[in-house]
Amino acid sequence: MTLEYWFMLPVAALFSALAMAFGVGSATFHTPFLILALGMSPEVAIASGLMAEVFGFASGSIAYSRRKLIDYRLGLMLLVATMPMAVLGAWVAGVVDADILKLLLGGGLFIVAVSFLRSPGKEKKKVPRLVCEGEDKCTRLKAERCITTADGHRYCYTFCHRYEGLTLAGLGGLFLGMISTGLGELDDYFFLRRCRMPSSIAVATSVFIIAFTALAGSGGHIVRFAQAGGDELSTVLAIAAFAVPGAIVGALLGVRVSVRIPEKVLVRSMGILFLVVAGLTLGEALLR
């Protein structure tokens, strides 16, 4: 095993911790870093980021599962849309210019960031916040689902706009397969801004969805590399040898951080995060 990419161990740990805390894909950070800092081709960077994301988010999903924060019913419903679209995205990545896709995604992330940062205003009135904590309050609300966490908190809430959620999740899965990012950002926008779910449930469920969707997307890329031959697959595996253990450790740290972030801070922080990600995504296309 070559030690050429040893530095990906701490780098992947940092990226995974940030991603886990905000419920977005760690490849959102991996891919721009590999392209801009190391000069990797988009195809190798995307596949490497997704592979690290699979293991990091699997680790995070286990940690969130122990805290009983994952809405499995919602997660499984959205995976029906995200996993096949991620496989499709991996195939499309081999035939469509990546810079065009990054420009589109960068613009979309900018719009989402503005939505997070602006005042909810009228949108807050259109989507009632049917969320409660505590047995007495929850029994008085006609909530669609209730989750009791490992530490005894009880959250009841309603999942709104089901078909809109499936559409956004499918689109996010497509982008995840094509350019390794987009699913977590769209899911968090929908969960927190549109449906106003509890932030801890939203982040944990998003991590669960991303883990399995990234598995489908990375599998599609690996199969494509194996069929094409060349050095791309060996480079991806060399990076993954250090990025994967780093991602696992970082995910465990990120879970500990996420449960301590107040919801208002989380929403504002996501807005700023998405502005940064939009800039990096656009930079990938414009600076190449």
pLDDT in tens, 144-173: 678 888 888 888 887 778 888 899 999 999
CA distances from 200 to 20, 27, 65, 264 (A): 11, 21, 12, 12
For residue 78, the model assigns a pLDDT of 95
The domain of 216 spans 8-120+161-286
Residue range 40-81, pLDDT digits in tens: 888 888 899 999 999 988 988 998 899 999 999 999 999 999
For residue 1, the model assigns a pLDDT of 60
Q: Distance (Å, rounded) from C-alpha 212 to C-alpha 62? A: 13
For residue 122, the model assigns a pLDDT of 47
* Residue pair 50/31 in contact by the 8 Å Cβ criterion: no
Whether residue 146 is contained in a domain is answered as no
Q: Across residues 18-39, what is the average pLDDT?
A: 80
Region of poorest pLDDT, from 40-49, 78-87, 267-276? 267-276
Select the highest-mean-pLDDT range: 8-12, 100-104, 125-129, 199-203. Answer: 8-12
pLDDT at 207 exceeding the cut of 70: yes
For residue 214, the model assigns a pLDDT of 94
Residue (of 265, 261, 270, 280) closest to 112 by Cα position: 270
Whether residue 143 is contained in a domain is answered as no
Q: Across residues 19-47, what is the average pLDDT?
A: 81
- Comparison of pLDDT for 178 and 87, the residue scoring more: 87
Using alpha carbons only, what angle is made at residue 217 by residues 53 and 6, rounded to the nearest 5 degrees?
A: 35
Runs of H (alpha helix) within the chain: 8-22, 27-32, 42-66, 72-93, 98-117, 122-126, 135-139, 162-179, 183-188, 199-228, 232-258, 263-286
Residue (of 35, 38, 47) closest to 226 by Cα position: 47
For residue 119, the model assigns a pLDDT of 60
Whole-number average pLDDT of the chain: 82
* Residue pair 246/52 in contact by the 8 Å Cβ criterion: yes
* Other C-beta atoms lying within 10 Å of the C-beta of residue 67: 16
> Domain tally for the chain?
1
Whether residue 268 is contained in a domain is answered as yes
Rounded to the nearest angstrom, the gap between the alpha carbon of residue 98 and the centroid of all alpha carbons in its chain is 19
Q: Distance (Å, rounded) from C-alpha 60 to C-alpha 83? A: 19
Whether residue 224 is contained in a domain is answered as yes
Percentage of the chain exceeding pLDDT 70: 86
CA distances from 218 to 48, 176, 240 (A): 8, 9, 12
Region of poorest pLDDT, from 30-34, 77-81, 137-141, 283-287? 137-141
Q: Distance (Å, rounded) from C-alpha 53 to C-alpha 59? A: 10
Q: Distance (Å, rounded) from C-alpha 250 to C-alpha 286? A: 30
Which two structure tokens, joined as six digits, stand for 239? 């990076």
Q: Distance (Å, rounded) from C-alpha 110 to C-alpha 219? A: 29
